[in-house]
Amino acid sequence: MSRPRGFTLVELLVGLSILAVLLTAVLQWTQGNIRSYRAVSEMMQRNELESIARNVVIRELSLAGYGAGFIGELSGPVIEIGLAESPGESDTFRISYLEERWSDEPVRRQLTFDVRRDAHGQYNLYRREPGATRQPAVQEVTGLRLVSLVTPDGQLRSPTGPWPETITAFVVELSFSWESSRFAYVGFAAPQQLGRL
């Protein structure tokens, strides 16, 4: 009668060693995939925030002068820009436009955009109207700077030189907390009067 043969201690240790190597490889592969997924996800979120900030600035600031001439009149500059005093600060943009609601008279509206820190120390792009509290439009925006002014004849003017009386567009730079930036071209249907804040 023969005895059933089992695994020897050496065979068992070799088998467990191979299993440990395989499990370590699977674990490292899984961790690498999780890190890759997180990196791609963060990059996509950042790209989305950059696009949102750029679109908000273009859509809102391009309202400057809207309604003048066909639903009412606007007096004075419809675009006012306050240049920051130091390189680390952001510029301030204020626009005026007419809004026609269900009333007989159009209403003059003003929007102001700037970048400030919130109560938690985070930078945000803020949008506010007179009499309203400042509300963050987009988070993680660390800077909003005027790059150039576009005159009615298509010339680019530096913000540090003499300003034209009217412009047809301007270019701004948006900076973000992850140290990237995007440019936005804000154009108008007709030349608009420019002023300083």
User: Is 178 a residue whose pLDDT tops 70?
Assistant: yes
Residue 19: what pLDDT? 93
pTM (2 decimals)? 0.81
Tell me the domain boundaries of the chain. Answer: 58-196
Residue 159 CB: number of other CB atoms within 10 A?
A: 15
pLDDT (0 to 100) of residue 103: 67
Q: How far apart are CA 89 and CA 144, in angstroms?
A: 8
Q: pLDDT grade, residue 50 (50/70/90)?
A: very high
pLDDT of 112 strictly over 70: yes
When pLDDT is cut at 50, 70 and 90, the band that residue 184 belongs to is: very high
Answer for the pair 156, 150: CB distance below 8 angstroms, yes or no: yes
